[in-house]
Amino acid sequence: MTMQSVATDLGGANAPAGAVPGAARRAWARNGPAYLFLLPWLIGFFGLTLGPALASLYLSFTNYDLIRSPDWVGAANYVRIATADPKFAAAMKVTFLYVVLSVPLKLAFALLVAMAFNRGLKGLPVYRAIFYLPSLLGASVAIAVLWRQLFASDGLVNMVLWQLFGIEGPSWISNPNYSLYTLVILSVWQFGSPMIIFLAGLRQIPTDMYEAAEIDGASKARQFWKITLPLLTPVIFFNAVIQTIDAFKAFTPAFIISEGTGGPINSTLFYTLYLYQEAFGFFRMGYASALAWILVVIIAAFTAFSFLSAKYWVHYDD
């Protein structure tokens, strides 16, 4: 700990002049008040974050049902996950498919609408608010309930298909070929918040760049590919990372739409839903802890990969 590093030391300023000299006392005078402010966070960090994280790492090497004490099984949980768990494989497939489909589509919509907005459009605040609303409401159970109805066999979507085109649609949510796509649509519908971030990013691009390009006779398309997109890459990168991590952790819509089963035939078995079933359906706490740590590793690997790749495609001006 550095004791005499700073001039504007609020804690130190409070120490009574001519107090008993002593390293401990001085250290308290300098650091004590700050640590008092930090105390709630420190308790939370050790008691609710670091401690539990380590405990779940330990539990992942045990079998534990909450009743008998944890039974050390070495890497058996991980071995079973990797080699003999078809539900894990299904959950990985569903989750990756969901991430790969929903994130790019959502960002594409967000960017498209933000671009349409960015040119001194009248009534922008109203449109922006309307397009943002689904993002704000979308995570609630109510919207998942609504989605269940929309894509049911006698739901709104099929009603519209029938009235407009005379097509008799299937029950989208109970058909394993389509059920995941209804969740993808739900996610894409919530493009509002990345859209707002794109709008903020677009405002940062100096207009004189476009004016110069205009004078040089560059087409709109060329301006988009050569100016807008490169200058927007930091924002695209940010949105992509945040949305991907969020998509890996999606839970509520799949739970409500499948009534907690992840069905039909595991077609909506999001990773977190599988984890929930193992932990709180079957009370296999050790196994679920192993699943949780695998999720951490997947998210960490994805994040590390994103940051490493950023150097090749994200444009930072200095």
Build a one-symbol-per-residue string for 71-100: x at contacts with another protein by CB under 8 A, - elsewhere. ------------------------------
| Helices 86-117/229-248 angle, 10° precision | 150
Among 19, 48, 75, 212, binds another protein (CB under 8 A): 48
Q: Is 24 among the residues that bind another protein (CB under 8 A)?
A: no
Beta carbon of residue 79, minimum distance to another protein (angstroms, whole number): 20
Which residue type occupies 100? Answer: V
Least distance in angstroms from the C-beta of 152 to another protein: 7
User: Shortest Cβ distance from residue 242 to another protein (Å)?
Assistant: 5
Between residues 258 and 267, which has the closer beta carbon with respect to another protein?
258
**Cα–Cα distance, 143 to 186 (Å, whole number):** 9
Q: How far is the CB of 249 from another protein (least distance, A)?
A: 6
How many residues lie near another protein (CB under 8 A)? 111
107 binds another protein (CB under 8 A): no
Is residue 282 at the binding interface for another protein, with CB under 8 A as the rule?
no
Selected range binding another protein among 84-92, 93-101, 245-253, 308-316, rule: CB under 8 A: 245-253
Taking CB under 8 A as the criterion, the residue among 79, 121, 265, 301 binding another protein is 121
State yes or no: residue 309 binds another protein (CB under 8 A): no
Pick out residues in 212-231 that bind another protein (CB under 8 A): 214
What is the SS3 string spanning the chain? Answer: CCCCCCCCCHHHHCCCCCCCCCHHHHHHHHHHHHHHHHHHHHHHHHHHHHHHHHHHHHHCCEECCCCCCCEECCCHHHHHHHHCCHHHHHHHHHHHHHHHHHHHHHHHHHHHHHHHHCCCCCCHHHHHHHHHHHHHHCCCHHHHHHHHHHCCCCCHHHHHHHHHHCCCCCCHHHCCCCHHHHHHHHHHHCCHHHHHHHHHHHHHCCHHHHHHHHHCCCCHHHHHHHHHHHHHHHHHHHHHHHHHHHHHCCCHHHHHHCCCCCCCCCCCCCHHHHHHHHHHHCCCHHHHHHHHHHHHHHHHHHHHHHHHHHHHHCCCCC
Stretch that binds another protein, among 175-183, 262-270, 299-307, 310-318 (CB under 8 A): 299-307
- Binders of another protein among residues 138 to 157 (CB under 8 A) are 138-143, 145-150, 152, 154, 156
Q: What binding mask, one character per residue, do residues 161-200 give for another protein by CB under 8 A, x or -? A: --x-------------------------xx-xx--xx-xx
Tell me the closest approach of the beta carbon of residue 60 to another protein, in angstroms.
Answer: 9
Q: How far is the CB of 288 from another protein (least distance, A)?
A: 6
